[in-house]
């Protein structure tokens, strides 16, 4: 029997074969992934104008030192910083995502504490919200949804409530980690000092952005998740500023949380002037000095 060839059905074969794309490949290709660290100073806009530049200079100096402590040099950051006035967005190779959590968040919290202890009385306190995210960004301007999401995470209601908890307990940093980054770093065992039980799972939402709702993980260095939980309550147990109601505070204060996870003992209180300090692998309550 004679075999049919392409020439026997030229019109049919041409209709079945896909047409070459007229869209350039660099438009359809998924851009390379990058890690993003976003920092935002609490109430920066309320500072007197004369104090804004010095405060921002102090923040830039601290961040430069912290990046160096994490093995991230200026060459990595060159040309990949987006200024936000009251903060900045740092764009780094995706391989640095774990470092942006551990040890960077730990070092950043310590740097803020050192500055607070040595600042002049005329210099304002610097309190930071920070977010860590990862996603594809188109070079060279590093444009993409990942930047928008990183900003929304740091501006989210969850991050602001975590900052309220931090302020109430004398801590200067509140961080939010996207679920994508958390899965690739903390849950994957790539953060030696910070484990899953150090974070509080929450949902990030932004007022006026009804389409944005993402699972995130909150970290306030030195505070256990049980302390953050009352601040994240969405029912009548939370007052509008994100602080627990008096009833919720009384309930939490009356019960000291003894959580055991991975052999780590944690204690915490959600009210009063008690501040949680981590010593070695244990959390211990310590009275704030006035």
Lowest mean pLDDT among 90-94, 122-126, 190-194, 280-284: 280-284
Comparing C-alpha atoms, which of 39, 74, 80 is closest to residue 56?
39
Mean pLDDT of the region 232-261: 50
Comparing C-alpha atoms, which of 227, 225, 224, 205 is closest to residue 215?
205
Handedness of CA 145, 148, 154, 158 (dihedral sign): negative
Lowest mean pLDDT among 96-110, 140-154, 232-246, 256-270: 256-270
pTM: 0.75
- 18 falls in which pLDDT band (50, 70, 90)? low
Q: Report the pLDDT value the prediction gives residue 222, as an integer from 0 to 100.
A: 93
Question: Measuring CA to CA, how many Å separate 37 from each of 104, 112, 138, 235, 238?
Answer: 10, 16, 17, 31, 29
Rounding to the nearest 10 degrees, give the CA dihedral for residues 128, 153, 201, 237.
80
Average pLDDT, the chain: 80
Partners of 38 in beta bridges? 89, 131
> Could you tell me which residue, 10 or 47, shows the higher pLDDT?
47
Report DSSP state, residue 105: H
Mean pLDDT of the region 28-46: 93
Q: Which residues, 6+ apart, have CB-to-CB distance to 284 below 8 Å?
A: 267, 276, 277, 278
Mean pLDDT of the region 187-215: 96
Rounded Cα gap, residues 78 and 14, in angstroms: 50
Q: Of how many residues is the chain composed?
A: 290
Phi and psi (nearest 5°) for 83?
A: -80, 135
Rounded Cα gap, residues 217 and 180, in angstroms: 10
Burial of 190 (0-12, 13-18, 19+ CB in 10 A): middle
- 283 falls in which pLDDT band (50, 70, 90)? very low
Rounded Cα gap, residues 213 and 216, in angstroms: 9
pLDDT in tens, 62-105: 999 999 999 998 766 655 667 777 889 999 999 999 999 999 99
The share of the chain scoring above pLDDT 90, in percent, equals 61
pLDDT in tens, 151-171: 999 999 999 999 999 999 999
Q: Report the pLDDT value the prediction gives residue 278, as an integer from 0 to 100.
A: 33
Q: How many CB atoms are closer than 10 A to CB 137?
A: 22
Burial of 25 (0-12, 13-18, 19+ CB in 10 A): exposed
Structure tokens at 169: 């307990």
Rounding to the nearest 10 degrees, give the CA dihedral for residues 228, 232, 233, 238.
90
Q: Which element (helix H / strand E) includes 166?
A: helix 157-168
Q: Which element (helix H / strand E) includes 83?
A: strand 81-83
Contact present, 102 and 191 (Cβ < 8 Å) = yes
């Amino acid at each position: 029997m004679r075999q049919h060839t392409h020439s026997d059905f030229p019109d049919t074969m041409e209709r079945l074969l896909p047409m070459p794309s007229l869209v350039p490949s660099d438009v359809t290709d998924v851009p390379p992934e990058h890690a993003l660290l976003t920092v935002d100073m609490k109430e920066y806009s309320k500072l007197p104008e004369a104090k804004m530049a010095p405060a921002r200079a102090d923040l830039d100096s601290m961040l430069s030192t912290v990046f160096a402590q994490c093995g991230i040099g200026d060459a990595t950051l060159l040309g990949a910083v987006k200024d936000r006035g009251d903060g900045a967005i740092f764009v780094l190779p995706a391989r640095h995502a774990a470092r942006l959590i551990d040890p960077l968040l730990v070092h950043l919290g310590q740097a803020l504490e050192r500055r607070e202890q040595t600042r002049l009385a005329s210099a304002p306190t610097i309190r930071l919200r920070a977010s860590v995210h990862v996603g594809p960004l188109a070079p060279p301007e590093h444009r993409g949804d990942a930047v928008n999401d990183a900003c929304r995470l740091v501006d989210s209601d969850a991050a602001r409530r975590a900052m309220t908890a931090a302020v109430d307990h004398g801590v200067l940093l509140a961080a939010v980690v996207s679920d994508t980054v958390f899965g690739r770093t903390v849950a994957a065992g790539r953060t030696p000092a910070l484990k899953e039980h150090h974070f509080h799972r929450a949902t990030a939402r932004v007022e006026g952005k009804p389409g944005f709702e993402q699972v995130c993980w909150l970290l306030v260095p030195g505070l256990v998740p049980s302390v953050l939980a009352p601040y994240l309550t969405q029912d009548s147990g939370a007052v509008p500023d994100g602080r627990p109601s008096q009833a919720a505070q009384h309930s939490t204060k009356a019960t000291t949380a003894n959580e055991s996870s991975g052999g780590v003992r944690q204690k915490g209180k959600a009210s009063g002037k008690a501040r949680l300090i981590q010593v070695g692998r244990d959390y211990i309550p310590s009275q704030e000095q006035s």
